[in-house]
Amino acid sequence: MPIGPLMVDVAGFSLTESERHRLRHPAVGGVILFARNFESRAQLMALTAEIRALRHPHLLIAVDQEGGRVQRFRSDGFVHLPPMGQLGALFERDRQAGLEAAHSLGWLMATQLRMAGVDLSFAPVLDLSRGISGVIGDRAFAREPAAIIALAVAYTAGMQSAGMSAVGKHFPGHGSIAEDSHIAHPVDTRSFSTIEREDLRPFLGLIERYIPGLMAAHVIYPAVDAQPAGFSRHWLHSLLRERWQYQGAVFSDDLTMAAASVAGDIVARVDAALAAGCDMALICNHPEWVDAVLAARSFAPEPVRETRLARLMGHGTVPSEAHFQHDPRRVRALAWVERLRDPRAEADAGWFLNEQ
């Protein structure tokens, strides 16, 4: 069965019959999980196994597991990861330590998810930490594009070593506007030259090193296009695909967010996102809206899109729990977590981290 262009969610700890029916629809290609879908690791593994068994190839299973305040699974053995801004602060004090910590935490986050049957986390955030956007805040690595690039390259390499592809967000940059696209309609009035010189640099830096996925922002940049970036053919096709020759997958942000309403009802939003160049459109928290799209539209197979999305499936060998518990990389990652959680522990942890 083809990988369809819609990513949807489910309500609880296991699938209902109506959800099984919805997820078998050929237009659906992925499932995004939330905190409401997590009770324990055993339950999560049962849920992902149930989702995987519905289709072949299996549906792409994703989550937002950035760390800090955006981490859906954070108990029953899942390490509560620090916000990425703490990696940036460490990098500013000690560049090599920051890079090592980023790689280690990228590996830890991805390994724990892969062991639970999750293919990818929508991470890392590539936005600038300018002290303007409350919704971004310490989710971003740093203020300076060069620091973001260095840390993101290390972090995504850690993810890759665990068999997980990275999805950078929120293209072309949400860090320079105060409004939250979940509840408002953000507009960034700066010129393209300014955006290119600042916010776009981390995205281009990761594209040049081939990041496999990007998520587009629901932000309007009127100096470039009247449509939010996720609905803009200029941003997604003319710039990403044609000028930058980007070959990875592009995701919309959640199309139920307030900022997406400029495109119309949910069917119009999906149409606009896919027409602009998104490979997969997210519809969260409104199963009835998913059903409306499935009733109104059929989507022809698109081999190029499906190939891009298939590359995001988890890959490589997933470690057993016993192997993970004794893996020195886990011990090292936990030491970094402790060091970042409590700066007073930095001196105590330093001897161990420097010896590994």
Helix (H) or strand (E) holding 31: strand 28-33
* 3 state SS of 93: helix
- Count how many Cα atoms sit within 13 Å of the Cα of residue 188 in the half-sphere of its side chain: 29
Provide Rg for the chain, Cα atoms: 20
DSSP string, 256-290: TSGGGGGG-SHHHHHHHHHHHT-SEEEE-S-HHHH
CB 310 within 8 A of CB 3: yes
Pairing between β-strand 167-171 and β-strand 213-216 as defined by DSSP bridges: parallel
> Cα 249 from chain centroid?
12
List of residues 6+ apart from 63 with CB closer than 8 A: 32, 33, 34, 72, 73, 113, 118, 120, 121, 122
Write b or e for each residue in 306-326: b if 16 or more Cβ atoms lie within 10 A of its Cβ, otherwise e.
bebbeebbbeeebbeeeebee
Return the C-alpha torsion angle 356, 210, 302, 218, nearest 10.
90
Which residue, chain included where needed, has tokens 């986050």?
Answer: 109
* Helix (H) or strand (E) segment spanning residue 98: helix 95-115
Q: Which residues are catalytic?
A: 182, 253
